[in-house]
Structure 1
């Protein structure tokens, strides 16, 4: 018998509900499955994955984020795992494969404790403590500060990031491009550093030519031609004007049709249009610019007035490209021609030129004084190769950016994971109660990185890891695995480094995601009555056929 105020909960019969231990085990299995997909993509001996998108396009890559972005999964926990690769890529731009592999193993480490009946909250508390200790050990004991003025040291770090990628054959060229691009867009104001490579270091892919022909253009390159064939295609020291308005007659927004009573009305209307366009062009000509870039259209009449004044116009420029031109040339983007002022004109550009490359025309704005924006021109045999090189370069530029923003590095090749694991295993002896077991398990899960590196290069996993543990127990903190040969090497000699910010983000993301998935004890999903509807429709169609 229910009480008067007692709520009655009725679950719809077509809502699926799974709860308890079963959900936790399923989430762990989903995490391990996603980790297994990208496990072979870690290290310099990484295998490539061939991905086909629904449109039939092909993507060849070993970038964890690019692989998981193309995979379609139904399980919600697997979707969370895929999301962390995207987070890692957006935050630091590298370590997307490591974070997935590590997260899969950290989840798996909890499985035996759940099977023994340990409460997930106890495991989570141990995981949080381990994460805090990992961050402290990384910052205080392992991180090495670097001198940003030592160019060779900076180049070594970028080179070690490229070592696992397709572009590693052209490592020197890639390091030059990444370093130059990041230095170009680097801005320091009031003690605050800003390196916006996504917005101001644009990559333009031109199929054809050799990969060695790629370079950084200290200026802007657009896939655009001038609007009129009589306009100049080469101007030295141009005065540049940027607009985001139409250079054509403004149509009435609410006025859809016009009624004319006399013949003269039509000619008056045409005259009004012409005067309007002429007024806009006069406002522009008054400032004597050489080149105009507008995000909207340029009418034939406006082109006529501009050609007479010797002004070159480029239309329908993307907003992002216009922002980069503004940053490179010192021009201001203006929305109305009647508000144009002398300070809106950009004069920092040394050369404006339109060239034909292959079948298309490209506009170049080069020789800028301190441009703070650049274009990376990539050449290569095919579009697939160019896409992979672009992904690799984005990673290299992100690593360079991380170093300039936080100049600390840690040894690569699994050395840092082994050092952290060794330090925290000692600390775990001082922890009392049942929490010490999950704490120790998550610390040992870090060994998945050196283990996967060993596995991917075909070395003996058990022997190599045992020898590596022994080296670290003896105090050799910088010893890691050579990803090409599987031998134990001092990473300072091999010059394999990783930025501290990438490692910190990897550990934080992997452990926080594992905690999030372990806290789930219920999955409820509502599904439509598909079967019932299908049967009804089938019955109706059969009846109509009989009639």
Structure 2
């Protein structure tokens, strides 16, 4: 049997060899330049018109790149870097793109000198391994019993964000929310922010009115106006099955010859619903929450017994209620047990905020889920506050799971760069040049911080290099903690101004940036099976064909 042969369309675009690598580097540099000005506390904002016609104002790297529409595959790969960084550690989304772009820019020179991409990539990964080791050697262990130290670390990480004016409020909210959802399993800390720390944004009021609820809230009201809207110490039953007569899934034909048969059919439905209600009432519930529908008969019966009912709740909200109240979600009413009833909540209350009703289940004894209620003047402000809060919670999670910190303000990058420069002198052959390129690329972080402050970049960077080149200064102090003061644009000791960052964020930034650069440098062929449009209009068949 003849092997299949790939036949490209005559109009298919193709770039190969050196040209493919250079265009990839140009695309990566273009993406990097877009968000370079959003790094640091003096960051500029970007105004983005998204696909829905809404305007987004932000300096969050991931939020900016997520809205950008690009067609070049290398540019798309760079945008994915920011998303990967955000999912892994929640911070450093701008730094990773800027660093990857700088590494690729420096490697362009080596390609022009005909150094093989494999040699370049090998040297980059050797430099990465050493950089991670050097960063870990410079790290300081965080005292998890010292809340003030943790709060200061979170505060320094959101100092570049829009909410820096309200940093105390945001830091305390993030710290409290993460500690609520924190679970220790066999000595391992598990913190699931995405599923169990929900943010509810309600326009109106002041940002200072924002708070963390010791429980959950959701945008639902009780089903019947006569049901109780405030219950203290409620007994809660959670269901994901309907409280109504379930029709057969397949088509069922019923032939009725007499009127009494029709009445009997209705009676069977009523008896089924009554049996469900009787089973539920055996457990003396105060509140029943279900993800499905509830029939009018069930509402009437339960309402007469002073039971409040909420129906058609989202699965995620139901799961959070279970975590907060200690209830267990039941799939069949017949399987309900006393241990499934939640008794951990202190208060159920329905309140009207603005034009909508919200249900609150709060004052929980040991909640493992929480809701963060954000108030603000407008939707745009709330969206940006939420992005900043998510970063703060991610930083808090990183500290609690990996309690090590390094100096911020570009200090750790300069210290690692200095060590890589020193080690590159011991390497022989052409691989020393790409190795040294990683050291030079790391300097882009402090340099960009100085640029965004409007400072004298050359003078500041020269002073910073001089500090790091001598391991000790005249007073015999360690100078590896010197970086850029992002507010003043001058070299400063990060210990004195209290700028720290989690080690895991910095190591992940270096790993992601170098690995992405290596991947793009190894590409030597870009093939597109999409055909160009003919002048006469219309498109030819675009996909490659197989014989």
- TM-score under structure 1 length normalisation: 0.95
Q: Which residue of 1 aligns with 2:249?
A: 253
Question: Partner residue of 2:474?
Answer: none
What is the CA distance between 1:262 and its match in structure 2?
2.5
Aligned to 2:311: 315
1:483 equivalenced with 2:479 (yes/no) = no
The residue correspondences of 1:140-179 to structure 2 (distance < 5 A) are: 140=137, 142-179=138-175
Alignment correspondent of 2:59: 62
**CA distance in structure 1 between the aligned counterparts of 2:499 and 2:538, rounded to whole angstroms:** 63
Q: Equivalences for 1:186-197 in 2 at 5 Å?
A: 186-197=182-193
Gaps of 5+ in 1: 538-547
Deviation of 1:533 (Å): 7.5
Task: Using the TM superposition, give the Cα deviation of residue 452 of structure 1 relative to its aligned residue in structure 2, in angstroms.
Answer: 0.4
Any gaps of 5 or more consecutive residues in structure 2? Answer: 472-478, 541-547
SS at match of 1:206: strand
1:87 to 74, 84, 88: 84
SS at match of 1:531: coil
Residue matched to 1:114: 111
Q: 1:536 to 1:379 in 2, by over 3 A?
A: closer
Match of 1:39 in 2: 36
2: CA distance, partners of 1:424 / 1:257? 79
Distance 1:437 1:529, change over 3 A: closer
Contact 2:13 2:531 in 1 (8 A): no
Of the three residues 366, 371, 376, the one matched with 1:375 is 371
Deviation at 1:534, TM superposition (A): 3.0
CA distance in 2, matches of 1:227, 1:339: 24
Q: CA deviation at 1:54?
A: 2.1
Partner residue, 1:500:
503
- In the TM superposition, residue 11 of structure 1 has moved relative to its aligned partner by 3.4
Q: Secondary structure at the match of 2:29?
A: helix
Is 1:135 the equivalent of 2:132?
A: yes
How far apart, in 2, do the equivalents of 1:100 and 1:8 lie? Answer: 38
Match of 1:531 in 2: 534
Q: CA deviation at 1:528?
A: 3.9
Q: How many residues align?
A: 533
In the alignment, which residue of structure 1 is the partner of 2:519?
Answer: 516
SS at match of 2:343: coil
RMSD: 1.6
Q: Partner residue of 1:391?
A: 387
TM-score, length-scaled by structure 2: 0.95
The answer to whether 1:243 aligns with 2:239 is yes
**SS of the counterpart of 1:526?**
coil
Provide the C-alpha distance between the structure 2 equivalents of 1:111 and 1:24, rounded to a whole number of angstroms.
8
Distance 1:17 1:310 in 2: 72
Measure, in 1, the Cα distance between the counterparts of 2:539 and 2:192. Answer: 57
1:427 aligned to which of 423, 445, 448: 423
